[in-house]
Amino acid sequence: MSVYEFLEKNSIYLVLIIALIVWLSVFAYLVKVDAKLKKLENEFAKIENKEEIEK
Amino acid sequence: MLSSIWAIFLKDLKSELRTRYALNALLMFVVVTISMILFATAGEVISGELLSGLLWVVIFFSAMSGLSRTFVSEEDRGTVIFLQLATRPSAVYFGKLLFNLVLIFGINFFVVIAYFLTMEGFKIKSFDVFLAGLILGSLGLASASTIIAAIIAKANTKGTLYPVLSFPVLLPLLITAINMTQLSIEGAKLVETFGHLRILFSYFAVVVIASYLLFDYIWKE
Amino acid sequence: MIWKFLLGLYMAIITALAFVIPIGFIPGLGERARIIFLHVPSAWLSVIAFFVAMLYAIRYLKSKNIYEDVKSVASAEIGFLFCFVTTVTGSIWAKFNWGSFWNWDPRETSIFVLLLIYGAYFVLRSAIEVEERRATLSAVYSIIAFITVPFFIFIMPRIMPGLHPGSKGDPEGAGPVVTFKMDPNMRVLFFASLLGFILVYLWMFKLRSRVEILKIKIQNKIYQEV
């Protein structure tokens, strides 16, 4: 039995796949924002350090 | 402590009686709202349940238009700083609470009388339940709206913000109070409404205690 | 970094199990009872988030440290988001279980009031311009608002009859925890899901407050240079 036929008969699994996709995309988005934020924080810390050294 | 609370209360009462601004405006407000209801329902027979809900609508909105004045007027006249110098924050809070209590009991007395005179369908079977609900409801209403008045007096848009902030905080009280008024129309016994009374009273106690603890922070702001 | 991917995997497994795990027969609900794995944790989570917001509000009032205020708002925002999700999912579910999207069941009223309270909280914040004043007043409001929340969540559903599982009149007992005879693996999955939700919340909360803190730091920097 192919995957298509299986999903056609048990549509709950179809919804399950959709829910998984939703969660995984939200998750990917959160990871990306986290990484970006970390980068920004590092950059800001670098600027601050440089200024302190100059003083 | 008690004497300064009393002094604040007397000060507010005197300045109110001198101008009668809030009192007159509020009485007119009640008349206007009730006649609004009468026009909107002209000729219809309204059920007791609906009327008890409408009664609390009138009470809520007249409270919202009047109770913020104690704090807002201090802010408008710039007399906050003198009060801050003269006495402790908690004395100010309890003084204002006392004044608001007197004000809301006055309004409610008037509202109920006007309501009995104009609404024919409003027949109460058990007066003790009705009075208990009204008194405890007014206590809770005054307690929550006093502290929120203190908050909004410091904000920019005072008038519109007041009901917006007060409504969700007051809702548990209002729902219970409306329910009690409905029960009094149905003729329930006072013993049966014990759960309601407990909710109303604990609401009042909890809000007053929290306000007493938090008022310092608002007042010094 | 690794725990984030573990969390992603964990929630994916929870989501998958929520659909397929056998839950036994529950009278009146049937397969619709599966909503408990997603709807109820998000409802609990919104209350937890509001509670955390209140804790940070108290800490702000004690320390007058603006970062505490930032954290308080961050938590309130996420709580609001989950509250919204709970309302929408619950409403859709109600359409199929009770026949209409909104019935003013006590439980529905209470979630609606939570939305109103925190809506008002954000309105209050937008109405005050001075930063410290805004922080103090909104902290006080969030404390006052939160102490009335128990009246909705714990007391009202018990004295008013309602349709929601776990209200007065539900023979299986009333309470915020729906104590109908839960299948053992249903109970385990429910608490596992709650744990996952809490971890996701902590992560979002951390992200949100870090953004705000960075913003404040940059603003201070600009202010210094000018």
pLDDT digits (tens, 9 = 90+) for C32-59: 777 788 888 898 899 999 999 999 999 9
pLDDT higher than threshold 90 for residue C155? no
Q: How far apart are CA C44 and CA C48, in angstroms?
A: 6
Q: How far apart are CA A22 and CA A20, in angstroms?
A: 5
Mean pLDDT by 10 residues, chain A (55 residues): 75 81 88 89 85 78
Give residue B209's pLDDT.
92
Touching A (3+ Cβ pairs <8 A), the chains are C
Q: Do residue B217 and residue C128 have CB atoms under 8 angstroms apart? A: no
Optimal mutation site among C144, C149, C159, interface B, most CBs of chain B within 10 A: C144
Predicted ipTM of the assembly: 0.84
pLDDT digits (tens, 9 = 90+) for C190-212: 888 889 999 999 999 999 999 98
Q: How far apart are CA B151 and CA B166, in angstroms?
A: 11
pLDDT higher than threshold 80 for residue C28? no
Give the structural domain span for A17: 3-54
Containing B31, the helix (H) or strand (E) segment is helix B21-40
User: Chain A, 13-42: which have a CB under 8 Å from a chain C CB?
Assistant: 13, 15-16, 19-20, 23-24, 27, 30-31, 33-34, 37, 40-41
Q: Dihedral, CA atoms, B139, B143, B148, B150, nearest 10 degrees?
A: 120
Give residue C205's pLDDT.
92
Confidence category of residue C171, pLDDT binned at 50, 70, 90:
very low
Q: Coil, strand or helix: which one is C168?
A: strand
B210 to chain C, any CB pair closer than 8 A? The answer is yes
pLDDT higher than threshold 50 for residue C187? yes
Q: Please report residues of A whose CB lies closer than 8 A to that of C15.
A: 16, 19-20, 23
Q: Do residue C132 and residue B203 have CB atoms under 8 angstroms apart? A: no
Question: Do chains B and C touch by CB distance (3+ pairs < 8 Å)?
Answer: yes
Give residue C177's pLDDT.
46
Give residue C162's pLDDT.
57
Question: Which two tokens mark C225?
Answer: 């240079």
Q: Please choose, from the candidates B57, B141, B168, the residue with its C-alpha nearest in 3D space to the C-alpha of residue C113.
A: B168
Domain count, chain A: 1
Q: Do residue C141 and residue B217 have CB atoms under 8 angstroms apart? A: no
Give residue C54's pLDDT.
93
B44 to chain C, any CB pair closer than 8 A? The answer is no
Give residue C176's pLDDT.
43
Q: How far apart are CA B149 and CA B158, in angstroms?
A: 9
Give residue C70's pLDDT.
92
End-to-end CA distance of chain C: 38
Q: Please choose, from the candidates B92, B210, B151, the residue with its C-alpha nearest in 3D space to the C-alpha of residue C135.
A: B151
Give residue C26's pLDDT.
66
Q: How far apart are CA A25 and CA A30, in angstroms?
A: 9
Confidence category of residue C69, pLDDT binned at 50, 70, 90:
very high
Q: Do residue A16 and residue C207 have CB atoms under 8 angstroms apart? A: no
Q: Do residue C61 and residue B217 have CB atoms under 8 angstroms apart? A: yes
pLDDT higher than threshold 70 for residue C167? no
The pTM assigned to this predicted structure is 0.84
Q: Do residue B172 and residue C148 have CB atoms under 8 angstroms apart? A: yes
List the single residue in C15, C207, C214 with the smallest CB-CB distance to A44. C214
Q: Please choose, from the candidates C161, C82, C162, C91, the residue with its C-alpha nearest in 3D space to the C-alpha of residue C114.
A: C82
Question: Which two tokens mark B15?
Answer: 């300045």
Confidence category of residue C172, pLDDT binned at 50, 70, 90:
very low
Give residue B22's pLDDT.
73
Q: Do residue B221 and residue C133 have CB atoms under 8 angstroms apart? A: yes
- Segments of chain B with pLDDT less than 70: none
Q: What burial letters (b/e) apply to B188-215, b meaning 16+ CB within 10 Å?
A: beeeebeebbebbeebbebbbebbeebb
Question: Which two tokens mark A49?
Answer: 């350090």
